């Protein structure tokens, strides 16, 4: 069975009039307007999404300060409150180290930190989120295999399955490493149930899905952005056609959805395609 993931949470929040220009992005609303987050999650569930991804992507103890633990914990029940059926799922978002820097380095990787340092940085947040009992941990928009290795090492013992999703350019990670090497990190980690790509050009998805499935033998997750380009503002046009997803599914994708600039309308189209 193919599951439909939500689209860009920040995209929907901005469409509803919220200013997300600060360093915390959508995570700011965990404190300032939690009901807005639940409403945005509900819009995607109403569109036919099976999975909501929490507003914790940009949230980290260093960024949130003394309120960090409470706000991270709040992100999971806020998504649960939006569920429309008992079969809906919640994935706790674990964004990359670079997201907390709010300087675009999440799309470059190669932070100059070791696996051990990155593991220490991620540990508290991932443990807090896992303790809230999400259905999945979304290790997403990971730019390089060094950070993926660090995150994979934190999963044993948490009791929550995960997906590992890279941001890519062509058949390489955002940091320039071959995807064959990046996906191989997931192959021997049973806690990683799905592996794939997100926040990339829709045109890059099919080759990546094929590689992920071939390297790991695991089901694949794919949720690109709209295909528009970010240069301090969005430009260009959307190239994410729902017609693309049939090939992704045939190649091994079992979760499909969208990332930046993908709203409920497109998710509804995807849900109509995969509906039994």
pLDDT value of residue 232: 67
pLDDT of residue 256: 98
The bridge status of strand 168-169 relative to strand 220-223 is unpaired
Dist. CA 124–CA 86, nearest whole Å: 29
Q: pLDDT (tens digit, 0 to 9) for every residue of the chain, 276 residues total?
A: 999 999 999 899 989 988 777 656 666 788 789 999 999 999 999 999 999 999 998 887 766 666 788 889 999 999 999 999 999 999 999 999 998 887 888 888 999 999 999 999 999 999 999 999 999 999 999 999 999 999 999 999 999 999 999 999 999 999 999 999 999 999 999 999 999 999 999 999 999 999 999 999 999 999 999 999 877 677 889 999 999 999 999 999 999 999 999 999 999 999 999 987
Residue 94 near residue 134 (C-beta atoms within 8 A)? no
Question: In sequence order, what DSSP letters do the residues of 36-65 get, joined into one string?
Answer: HHHHHHHHHHHTT-SEEE-TTTT--HHHHG
Amino acid 63: pLDDT: 64
pLDDT of 254 reads 98
Give the model's pLDDT for residue 25.
Answer: 61
Place of tokens 């090492």: 153
Q: What is the pLDDT of residue 101?
A: 81
Distance separating alpha carbons of residues 166 and 182, to the nearest angstrom? 8
Q: What is the pLDDT of residue 23?
A: 58
Q: What is the pLDDT of residue 230?
A: 74
**Number of domains observed in the structure of the chain:** 1
Predicted local distance difference test score (pLDDT) of residue 240: 97
Domain that residue 270 falls in? 3-274
Between CA 258 and CA 199 the distance in angstroms is 8
Per-residue burial over 185-199, b if 16 or more Cβ lie within 10 Å, else e, is bbeebebbbbbbbbb
End-to-end CA distance of the chain: 9
CATH number, domain containing residue 242: 3.20.20.330
User: Tokens 């190669």 belong to which residue?
Assistant: 110
């Amino acid at each position: 069975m193919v599951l439909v993931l939500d689209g860009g949470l920040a995209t929907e929040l901005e469409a509803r009039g919220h200013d997300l220009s600060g360093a915390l992005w959508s995570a700011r609303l965990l404190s300032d307007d939690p009901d807005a987050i639940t409403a945005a999650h509900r819009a995607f569930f109403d569109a036919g999404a099976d999975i909501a991804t929490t507003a914790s992507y940009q949230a980290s103890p260093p960024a949130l300060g003394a309120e960090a633990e409470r706000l991270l914990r709040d992100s999971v029940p806020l998504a649960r409150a939006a569920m429309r059926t008992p079969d809906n799922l919640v994935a706790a978002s674990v964004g990359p180290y670079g997201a907390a820097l709010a300087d675009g380095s999440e799309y470059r990787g190669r932070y100059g930190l070791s696996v051990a340092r990155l593991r220490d940085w991620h540990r508290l947040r991932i443990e807090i989120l896992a303790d809230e009992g999400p259905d999945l941990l979304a290790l997403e928009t990971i730019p390089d295999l060094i950070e993926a290795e660090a995150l994979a090492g934190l999963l044993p013992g948490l009791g929550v399955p995960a997906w590992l999703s890279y941001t890519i350019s062509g058949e390489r990670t955002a940091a320039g490493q071959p995807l064959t090497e990046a996906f191989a990190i997931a192959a021997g980690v049973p806690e990683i149930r799905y592996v794939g790509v997100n926040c990339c050009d829709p045109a890059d998805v099919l080759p990546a899905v094929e590689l992920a499935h071939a390297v790991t033998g695991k089901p694949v997750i794919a949720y690109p952005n709209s295909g528009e380009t970010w240069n301090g503002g969005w430009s260009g046009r959307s190239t994410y056609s729902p017609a693309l997803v049939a090939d992704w599914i045939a190649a091994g994708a079992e979760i499909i959805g969208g990332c930046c600039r993908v709203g409920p309308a497109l998710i509804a189209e995807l849900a109509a395609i995969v509906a039994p």
